[in-house]
Each structure stands twice: as C-alpha cells, then as structure tokens.
Amino acid sequence: MLSAKQELLAALAAELDKLQPGAGERAAFESPKVAAHGDLACTAAMQLAKGLKQNPRQLGEALREALLATPAFQRWVDAIELAGPGFINIRLKDAAKQAIVAEVLQAGECFGRQAKTGQRVLVEFVSANPTGPLHVGHGRQAALGDAICNLLATQGQDVYREFYYNDAGVQINTLATSTQLRARGFKPGDAEWPSGENAAAYNGDYIQDIANDFLAKKTVKADDRTFTASGDVNDLDGMRQFAVAYLRHEQDLDLQAFEVKFDNYYLESSLYTDGHVDATVQRLIANGKTYEQDGALWLRSTDYGDDKDRVMRKSDGSYTYFVPDVAYHIQKFKRGFTRVVNIQGTDHHGTIARVRAGLQAADVGIPQGYPDYVLHTMVRVMRGGEEVKISKRAGSYVTLRDLIEWTSKDAVRFFLLSRKPDTEYVFDIDLALAQNNDNPVYYVQYAHARICSVLATFKEQGGDVAQLARADLSPLSGPQAQALMLKLAQYPGMLTAAAQDFAPHDVTFYLRELASLYHSYYDAERILVDDETIRKARLALVAATAQVLHNGLQVLGVSAPTKM
C-alpha cells in the first residue's frame, strides 16, 4: 500500500500543479475521520479554491475527474466521492490495501525506518545530580529520552545519548557533609543533625550505606570513574569523591535495570577546569552583552526575548546555574551537533529563554531556537488506591528501581510513555500488575504473543513462515482484515510525525489501536482454516501485524514476548 500511496500522491501533485503552479508541493492525503467515508481523503480543493477564485465543490469535482483519468488512480482506486464543500474521499481497491502485508514482511525490522540522513543529533536526558538514587521522575525522563532517541533513529538520524551531571556546587557539598555526619555516628533526629525545612542534609538510609563503605575503605566503580575510600572520617574531600562515585554506581544499576545506555557522561566540573565557563563569560562581556549592577554581572537577555535580564555572576563571585549551561551548549555545538534535544522536568522551564539568550549573545554561529526542549511533569505512584510517597532506600521518594521491582521494566516504560510528557501521570501499580485488557502493555504484548502462538502452530504443521511474504493476499477482503491493513500502512507516517513532535506517546496509542484491531480480526475470522490459500493469506496478515507490534515496542524499549 505504501508504494500505491506514493504513486497516488505523485499523480495528485501533478494535477494540483496543473491547477496552480507549485501547489503540488503541498499534496497530501489524510485519514478520513469516519472510516465509512473511505480510505484516504484530500482537502486540496478547499485549500486552493479561494486563490483560484472558484467554488470549492466545483473545483473538487474537476479535480476528481482529472484524478480518475490518471493511470495511478485507475490502477489503485475503486472510487472517488465528493462530499460536503469539496472533500474528496478515496476508496482504494483491495489490492492496494493488501500490498502492505508483503511490504511489511519483506522489510521486517526495517519497516517504518527511513534512509540515513547524515544528521547528527545529541539527546541529553536523565542528567540527575549524583546525590541520591534515581526517582520515578528520572524514570519518566529515562523512558522519554530513550524512546525519543529510538524515534529519531528510525528517521535516519545519527543519535548520540548523553548524561550530564552536576558534580560541582552546593548539593555535592551537602552530600559530603551528610555522609561525614553518618560516618561520625549521627543520624536524622539527633541534635547534631541539620533540621528544618531548608536544612542542608540528605536523610535517606543510603547515606548510611555510603558512610559504612567509606569507613570500610571500599572501592566503588561507576561507568565513568573508580574511587577507593581512605576510611578517614576527617577526609571530607575524599568522602565527597567516594560518595559521588558510589551514587553514580547506584544510578548505573538503576539504568541497567531499565536497559538505558549512554554514549557519554559529561561532567559539569569539566566546564570549569577546562576553562569553558570563564571563556564563555569573557566572550559575552567582549560582545557587549553584559553590564555590572549592584556588584553583580548581568546578561542583557531581554535583547533576545527574555522577560528580564539575568544575573550571571553574583556579588559573591559565584556563577548562577544557567552560565555553565550556556558554556555546555556551546561545547555541544562545537562538537558538531547542529541539533540538540534536552529532556528535563517542567521546573526547568525558566532556563529555556536565558540559555537560548546566552547562546545568541555569544555569537558563535548557533541558530535561534537551539536547543530543543522536551519538558515533563513528575509522576505520582498509587497502590491499593493510596499514593505511595516514600521509599526506605531514598527516605522521601519512590525510586525508579522500586517501581521496576514492584512491577517490571516493560510496564514502567510503557506506562511512563503513555501520556504527553507535560501532562501529570499517575502510575497505578495494581494496574501494571493486572493480566487483563485494562492493562495497556499487557494488552499489546498479549496480541503479539497470541500471533506467535498461531504462527508456531502453523510451523508445527509443516508450514514455512518465511514463505508467507509471497502468499496470495486476495482473500483478505473482510472489513476487519481491511481495517487491520490500513492501520499497518499508517505505521511509517505515525513514526515520522512522532519523531517530529518528540511524541513517543503516539507510538503507545498506535500500538493499542493495532492490538485492538488484531483482536477484533482474530475474533471475526478463524486463521488456521483448511483452505490453503485463505490460511496463508490470513497467516501473512497476522505475521505482518506481529512484525509491526514488535517494531513499535522496540521503539519504546519494551519487549515483544512470544509466550505469555
């Protein structure tokens, strides 16, 4: 069907160009909102009517007649109907819809993937401070980041995954002092322990674990560092380095459990030690984009659309947090990444304008709107109808590993991707464990496993699944089969749109709809019938469905089980 649709689109473009030169560039088909209206729809007549000073319905009728005369429409189209003020509804011949089955089976895992473009894109996500375990918000970000990377890769882009972590600043000092207090035998609630709403201390039990291993002079190894503890309770700097390495190791375990891998870990501290922060500040000063006021250095960010100018260097000489962000993104650009996507919590919304303003003020060739941002809300966790707020491991929040251990990696990924990133999400543990149609990941995976069971039976009977790509598909004429084939044909376009919009939730919606159509088809038509031609045609359709379910789940980082 994809090749048929391309031929039809080319014919449409040619006819539109005849009506108005250049109009063919905007040739497009839509899916009718009501399935009974047809298989494809075209609104070109209404779009062109005003510019051509013609009645849209009359123009639609003229376009309909012209299209019916083209070889492509004669080959693939059964009927073209005019509706309303100029809607053109197209009904495809069965052969056009049936062609998608062979296209899927021949392409296999490559179905839906576009050719390499050569464009390099860096996606930065998770980027958690090494001050504690990863919480469920980090989990949502990890699922989003990994799925967005996979989506961009399907569109032929060369994707690079990066984890940026703040190994400098006040929070790291708080981590070190909290560990030192535990090493000295103090705990939350003791008179010596910092208390109050803004107390500089981390209270989770994991701090005691770090202190115990430091006193035991243990060695910890993370993806990017190794450190051996001195065991000296007065060695605050050593304790800081040990604690960071310890928690980086813990975060590595979280990410491994979630099956998320990174190509690079970028240290905030390196921006200072390599001189990038100072160089960025000096460039902004030299460009006349700063001024001094009240003992602080300010960026003229209002020149670039920010609602107010921003402090870069405070009166105490320290930099505000967006300054290293600007230096970091200059380095991203210099490393050859002309496209960059940052996935962060909605609490980072205020940084977008100031970072982009700093990049434009630096005047190093970075385009406006760089980088792209995807912001997500936090996640609430429910169990037994009540919100779960704390974890023994973390002390004050549910960790990603808790959620995986309570449910599964697949459930956590699918659930956290099933809503738009900027909408609040409630993770229902009971639903994630349910083995019924209300559980969306179970519903989709069960459809795949159900098909695999049918195909396994066919193989046990001596059938060759590899030969199904050459099956006679003409028996696939029933309404359920046709609806299923149309949905299969939507997969590549859905992927392209989801990648453009950074919207992996669109993949979850698509997979649920595809699974629903498969279950309806399975209930309507028996697959392993006696008639060989019909049996092979139906097996080819369900095999193609399994392949697309597999491909879509792979984009989400979710497994496609063959048995359940």
pLDDT at 395: 60
Q: φ and ψ at 92, to 5 degrees? A: -85, 155
pLDDT at 35: 79
Round the average pLDDT of the chain to a whole number and report it: 93
Strand spans (E) along 389-452: 425-428
pLDDT at 390: 66
Q: Tell me the CB-side half-sphere exposure of residue 545, using CA atoms within 13 A.
A: 38
pTM more than 0.95: no
Q: What is the pLDDT of residues 274-326, one digit of tens each?
A: 999 999 999 999 999 999 999 999 999 999 999 999 999 999 999 998 999 99
Q: What is the pLDDT of residues 353-396, one digit of tens each?
A: 999 999 999 999 999 999 999 999 999 999 999 999 865 555 66
pLDDT at 203: 86
Residue 457 has pLDDT above 70, yes or no: yes
pLDDT at 225: 81
Question: Of the candidates 410, 345, 364, which has an alpha carbon nearest to the alpha carbon of residue 556?
Answer: 410
Confidence class for position 511, pLDDT limits 50, 70, 90: very high
pLDDT at 326: 97
The answer for residues whose C-beta is within 8 angstroms of residue 497's C-beta and 6 or more apart is 503, 506
Confidence class for position 47, pLDDT limits 50, 70, 90: very high
E strand or H helix at 555, and its extent?
helix 532-556
State the Cα torsion 293-297-298-299 to the nearest 10°: 150
Confidence class for position 33, pLDDT limits 50, 70, 90: confident
Which residue has better confidence, 346 or 395? 346
CA distance 249 to 253: 6
Which residue has better confidence, 236 or 397? 236
SS (H, E, C) 50-92: HHHCCCHHHHHHHHHHHHHCCHHHHHHEEEEEEECCCEEEEEE
pLDDT at 1: 73
pLDDT at 143: 97
Q: What is the DSSP string of 41-57?
A: EE-HHHHHHHHHTS-HH
Residue identified by tokens 């919304």 is 349
Residue 44 has pLDDT above 80, yes or no: yes
CA distance 293 to 462: 83
The three-state secondary structure class of 393 is: coil
Q: What is the mean pLDDT of residues 508-524?
A: 97
E strand or H helix at 170, and its extent?
helix 170-183
CA distance 328 to 265: 13
Enumerate helices (H) and strands (E) in the chain, giving the number of each.
Answer: 20, 16
Which residue has better confidence, 168 or 95? 95
pLDDT at 391: 58
pLDDT at 15: 94
The answer for residues whose C-beta is within 8 angstroms of residue 226's C-beta and 6 or more apart is 219, 220, 245
Q: How many degrees, rounded to 5, is the angle at CA 98 between CA 97 and CA 103?
A: 100
Which residue has better confidence, 225 or 345? 345
DSSP state, residue 134: -
Q: What is the mean pLDDT of residues 424-446?
A: 96
pLDDT at 167: 81
pLDDT at 394: 55
Percent of the chain past pLDDT 70, that is, above it, reads 98
Neighbours of 51 (CB within 10 A): 10
